[in-house]
Structure 1
Amino acid sequence: MIPALIAGAIASVAALALFSRVAARRIERQAPADGHFITVDGVRLHYTDRGHGPAIVMIHGLGGQMRNFSYALADRLVADHRIILVDRPGSGYSAAAPSAAILAQARLIAGLIDALGLDRPLVVGHSLGGAIALALALDHPDKVGGLALISPLTQPQDSVPPAFRAIDIGSPALRRAVAWTIATPLGILSGDRGAVAVFAPEPAPADFGTKGGGALVLRPGAFLAASTDLAATRTDMAALAARYHELSVPVAILYGREDAILDPGLHGATIAADVPRVDLTLIPGGHMIPVTAPGQVASWIRGRVGAPA
């Protein structure tokens, strides 16, 4: 009896893993890699590099990838700027890195800036990408001309937004087990509820899963990376926030007033009050204003390019 139960459990796990792999390949056909690959410090990164003019590097948030920016925002800037979008390690089509620590991810972005020969570009960071952009400016100030942070994570916080509770898994071993068995089928069964939660109170575009790359996080490796990134914020953010007084580049922050993922008061007003170099702007909208308000966001970014240090 017990051997039969064990065999059945093994067969179930194998079936879930096979389903996850097949589903991941289908998702990748719907939202394929559309950039180039470069190896930085041994990590293979996926990026796009379009346009000419002052350079802007864009770093996406938790569970996202570069299509979050290419959905509607990047095309509004590419006519007169060089726009570099990058999938963070483990996200989109970039390989996972040995460490998901915020400072380690910032170091890889610094390496990408060097590899592409960029001269102190404006760095745009959305959500978790904002924290990584701040770490980049603190540890590698010579690589950054300024920061334009959209709905950024800037402070430590104990609670996890409801939209991300499914990836809040403390044990690395359990993260891997969940990622390679039940994460993909459960994500598919939940439909668009994840996107609805991230976009709230604004509606999620019907094509965000493909054009915006939202479905790519359903793949086992991307789920694992997102869960690991979330764990890193718990260990890294307090030390990062304690260093904001060291910032030597101009920092501008744009928040949607109705953001349901990160509180504009905690993550926008706090750093703006504590650090004189930080300028905060609020507009109507939720957490995904790069998608829902691309015109306003593009105009705001243009105002940051070449801003005096």
Structure 2
Amino acid sequence: MWIEARVPQDGTRIDVGGTRLHVLDRGEGPIIVLIHGLMGQMRNFAPELIDALSKDHRVILVDRPGSGYSDPLPAGANGIASQADLIASLIEQMELEKPTVVGHSLGGAVAISLALDHPNSVGSLALIAPATRPRSEANSTFGPLAIEPAPLRRAISLTFGTPFGLAIFERSAAALFAPEPLPADFATAGGGLLSLRPENYIAGSNDIKSLRDALADLPTRYGQLEMPVGVLFGSDDQVVDKNWNGIWLKSQLANATYAEIEGGHMIPFSSPQLVADWIAAVANRAHSKTAN
């Protein structure tokens, strides 16, 4: 497909318990694992961010199951907790000792689930614009993913989903970056085009429901998080509410820090150096505590 030609694989596909995950392994040093958000893939973390982090750290990027170039999990076993379980298995298989786990947006919920269900696999959490608790109103940015029933979503994705998605791509992507401008290279350098593939649309639709289900339970368990937690938001994020999700989470955790930088929701791509510096600070703080 022409989309794959424009956005090829960056890493290798590793078999983890029968599911192939697309993984990129860069650098040496304290380990950082990065988990992208809804309808995304590893390129949502800008190349400049990865270059900066990998100077002093070993950086592991993974496409979540069903996203990018990773296989989907079986229907009925593809929720947030199941994705976290699979990434925990990857961490064990790669012998990654107590990494800092970075989660962006929906990836933040996966990272939190990973830390709660597999605390020995996580040294610290670095959460960027994380979705942390449910809201009654739906976010219009991802409205097309919530079409019911599921067979209709699948039919749409396999027929005119890609051409329709291509027609509205710039508008949809711009909504993710607002109020910042949409970077001209996001479609390719940021992996944005991969969201137009039918299989990625189906995975995104499943993720919307899975996130809703997960956030009905996860907040009741946040008190169990004992590792250091850093939370970062763009000051004008228009996708995930910083007060509802970020500042609130900080208030629930004695071991959490909260910070903001200028920008919107996609700061891992739009502000790579600032975000890399923040991730490195979270990782280095946790590594220093472990060393002592």
TM-score, normalised to structure 2, is: 0.95
8 A Cα contact 1:256 1:287, kept in partner: yes
What CA deviation, in whole Å up to 9, does each residue of 1:114-141 have, x standing for no partner?
A: 1111001000000000000000000000
Aligned to 2:4: 28
What CA deviation, in whole Å up to 9, does each residue of 1:42-92 have, x standing for no partner?
A: 211001001111110000000000011143311111111100000001100
Match of 2:152 among 174, 177, 195: 174
Query: What is the rounded CA distance, in whole Å, between the counterparts of 1:218 and 1:115 in structure 2?
Result: 31
Residues 154-169 of structure 1 correspond to what in structure 2 (within 5 A)?
A: 154-169=132-147
Query: What is the rounded CA distance, in whole Å, between the counterparts of 1:42 and 1:172 in structure 2?
Result: 25
Aligned to 1:46: 22
Match of 1:142 among 120, 127, 134: 120
Query: What is the rounded CA distance, in whole Å, between the counterparts of 1:174 and 1:294 in structure 2?
Result: 38
SS in 2 for 1:249: coil
Query: What is the rounded CA distance, in whole Å, between the counterparts of 1:219 and 1:198 in structure 2?
Result: 18
Structure 1 residues 170, 157: closer, same or farther in 2, change over 3 A?
farther
Aligned to 1:265: 243
Residues 76-87 of structure 1 correspond to what in structure 2 (within 5 A)?
A: 76-87=52-63
Query: What is the rounded CA distance, in whole Å, between the counterparts of 1:110 and 1:170 in structure 2?
Result: 32
- Ranges in structure 1 where 5+ consecutive residues have no aligned partner: 1-24
Query: What is the rounded CA distance, in whole Å, between the counterparts of 1:191 and 1:174 in structure 2?
Result: 21
Report whether the alignment pairs 1:249 with 2:233: no
Aligned residue type for 1:112: L
TM-score, normalised to structure 1, is: 0.90
8 A Cα contact 2:45 2:272, kept in partner: no
SS in 2 for 1:46: strand
Give the structure with higher Rg (CA): 1
Report whether the alignment pairs 1:64 with 2:44: no
Query: What is the rounded CA distance, in whole Å, between the counterparts of 2:151 and 2:224 in structure 1?
Result: 36
**Residue correspondences, number:** 285
Match of 2:70 among 82, 94, 107: 94
8 A Cα contact 1:37 1:44, kept in partner: yes
Q: How far 1:161 moved relative to its partner?
A: 2.0
Aligned residue type for 2:142: F
Query: What is the rounded CA distance, in whole Å, between the counterparts of 2:137 and 2:50 in structure 1?
Result: 32
Query: What is the rounded CA distance, in whole Å, between the counterparts of 1:170 and 1:134 in structure 2?
Result: 28
SS in 2 for 1:305: helix
- Ranges in structure 2 where 5+ consecutive residues have no aligned partner: none
Report whether the alignment pairs 1:75 with 2:51: yes
Report whether the alignment pairs 1:229 with 2:207: yes
Structure 1 residues 164, 72: closer, same or farther in 2, change over 3 A?
farther
RMSD: 1.2
The percentage of aligned residue pairs carrying the same residue is 49
Runs of 4+ that moved beyond 3 A: none
